[in-house]
Amino acid sequence: MKGRTVPDPMIAMPRPAITAYPLLPGRVHEVSGPGAVAFVLRAARQAGADLLWVREDWQADMLHPLGFAGFDPARLVMAMTGDQKDTLAVAEEALRDGAVAMVALEITAPLSLTAGRRLQLAARAGGTTGLCLIPEGMGSNAAETRWHCAPVFDPGDSTLQCWRLIKNKSGTLGSWHVRWDAETGRVAVVPPAGDRPGAEDMPD
């Protein structure tokens, strides 16, 4: 007598969609946390978008090339500015122009409501997606969505992250464990570590 086949819950169970992702085009969104850079790159690659990245030249931390693995460097343009005022000016012009599909800008000081609204108006005019990388606890009331992203330790998958949607003008909030599927170039939702097959056998 053949043993009963137990379906793999990773395959058999439907995986929930991520609320507000892919990101709504023509809007400016915000992301914070240690996984923010990966979030931007995954959003850009999944959208097949050319990406303008704007940051201030005084920042000591550098964007590590390994973090861009799998992202076509021909699709990335870096713009260095002297201060946040210049960053906002460059980003606003690029959002309105629409020459690139996505603009990422690193925010180092609180954004006024006026500045946030200007970015939103520019994004709508150009049909461009904007992503502000913000320090934790900071954000603009004008943002369409706000995300917090952090890596989740998994010895078998270095791409695993926890994404939390903490602001959403158009719907509900939520939290998801996600991994990057390099073959499809898309983000896949996976169960939290404690809910995966064999989790009871994992050492503490």
Query: Secondary structure of the chain in the HEC alphabet?
Result: CCCCCCCCHHHHCCCCCCCCCCCCCCCEEEEECCCHHHHHHHHHHHHCCCEEEEEECCCCCCCCHHHHCCCCHHHEEEEEECCHHHHHHHHHHHHHHCCCCEEEEECCCCCCHHHHHHHHHHHHHHCCEEEEECCCCCCCCCCCEEEEEEECCCCCCCCCEEEEEEEECCCCCEEEEEEEECCCCEEEEECCHHHCCCHHHCCC
pLDDT digits 0-9 by tens, 154-181: 888 888 999 999 999 999 999 999 998 8
pLDDT digits 0-9 by tens, 7-25: 343 343 445 689 999 999 9
- Which tokens hold the place of 44? 């850009």
pLDDT at 138: 93
Per-residue pLDDT, averaged over 17-43, amounts to: 95
pLDDT above 90: residue 99: yes
pLDDT above 90: residue 183: no
CB contact at 8 A, 179 and 160: yes
Amino acid making up residue 146: R
| Sequence spans of domains, the chain | 22-191
pLDDT at 66: 52
Contacts for 12 with CB less than 8 Å, ≥ 6 apart: none
Class of domain 22-191: alpha beta
Higher pLDDT, 203 or 167: 167
Query: How far apart (Å, rounded) are the C-alpha atoms in residues 108 and 105?
Result: 10
pLDDT digits 0-9 by tens, 117-155: 999 999 999 999 999 999 999 999 999 999 999 999 888
Amino acid making up residue 90: V
